[in-house]
Homo-oligomer: A and B are copies of this chain.
Amino acid sequence: MDFDGLYDYFKTHDNYLILTHKSPDGDTLGCGFALCSVLRDMGKNANVINNENFPVRYNFLYEDYYYEEFEAQTIVAVDVADEKLLGSRLTKYFGNVDLCIDHHVSNTGYAKNTVVDPDASAAALVLYEFFKEKGIRITNLVAKCLYTGIATDTGCFKFENTIPRAHIAAAELMQYDINFSHINRKMFDTKSKQRLMVEQMMIASMEYYFNDRCSVICLTKKLMSESGVEPAEFDGLASIPLSVEGVVIGITIKQRHENVFKLSVRTTEALDASAFCKRFGGGGHIRAAGCEIEGTLEEVKSKVLTEVSAILENDQ
């Protein structure tokens, strides 16, 4: 569906329920609350829901939001590539999504109507360009939601997925009253006390090998339980080992079961993480890949370092 079709769709439908993906991020929530606000502005009924409660971290996107009572007729998913990503509490919408607005090239086409731009850095960029093309009024709140979606999905315009159009949208959206630097501080420069503690523990225990070209962090069940920190705070640590200057392969070894460890491997341009993980029956992308290895921690580490040694030699 193109932007003309989408505009007609919004004009001719009502009573919208907007679905965001589980473990929600700034893009799915930004799109959800921006679209909800625009639809209400058009005189429509609209609500936003998520598998869980909306995270406090994003409360600036929904502080003026309220739930309306009406019977949902039009189910819209935003930034949801696959209906499975809606989460276990929203399974009743599987097969029942009327419209999906997204930017993932992997979108499964599960919705009856789909607007997807796989070049777009964020679903919020698709939505912004739609509002702009159709002359739909963008309020400060909508601008704040869309800026947040674009900024968070691009790591604040840092990552490879940032396209010139993302910068153009930012240039335009920051002219609304959105306090973008406050948003960015909250999104990128602050962490929970627990998370900071976890990262600090990982950095303190990081091991370096092969002239500091390889770094390894190990996360055992014992360490996690003794820390007293919620397990969720131990997610997404895989980028830490590669954050050291000179490291070309950063490895996170996380215990799954007694003698089973999950490896997350990150590499710079110099090496292929996916090829590395294939040696252990895993796979992934060229810079980020994973695999599972059995054995004690010492055995796993030894196997891994032997392979690292081999690829670093090839590399020289």
Contact = CB atoms under 8 A, between A and B. Distances in A.
Interface string A148-192: 000000011111101011011011101100001110110011111
B164 A175 contact: yes
Contacts of A174: 162, 164, 167
Contact of A181 (B159, B181, B188): B159
A193 B244 contact: yes
Interface residues of A, number: 44
Q: How many copies does the complex hold?
A: 2
Contacts of A192: 244-245
Contacts of A229: none
A204 B193 CA distance: 11
A160 B158 CA distance: 17
Given A164-B171, A171-B164, A174-B167, A190 B156 contact: no
Interface string A191-224: 1110011011001100010001000000000000
A113 interface: no
Contacts of A196: 203, 243-244
A193 B269 contact: no
A243 B199 CA distance: 13
A197 to B, nearest CB: 8
A160 B220 CA distance: 41
Contacts of A74: none
A175 B163 CA distance: 9
A239 interface: yes
Contacts of A168: 167-168, 171
A160 B157 CA distance: 15
Contacts of A165: 171
Which has the most chain B C-beta neighbours within 10 Å: A156, A191, A212? Answer: A156
A149 B155 CA distance: 18
Nearest to A199: B203
Nearest to A164: B171
A48 to B, nearest CB: 24
B170 A184 contact: no
Nearest to A204: B200
Contacts of A199: 203
A205 to B, nearest CB: 10
Given A167-B171, A189-B239, A200-B200, 18 more contacts: A155-B156, A157-B167, A157-B170, A158-B181, A159-B181, A164-B170, A164-B174, A167-B167, A182-B269, A190-B242, A192-B244, A192-B245, A193-B208, A193-B244, A196-B203, A196-B243, A200-B204, A204-B204
17 contacts: A156-B157, A156-B158, A158-B184, A158-B185, A160-B181, A164-B172, A165-B171, A168-B168, A171-B171, A185-B268, A189-B239, A189-B243, A191-B244, A193-B212, A193-B245, A196-B243, A199-B203
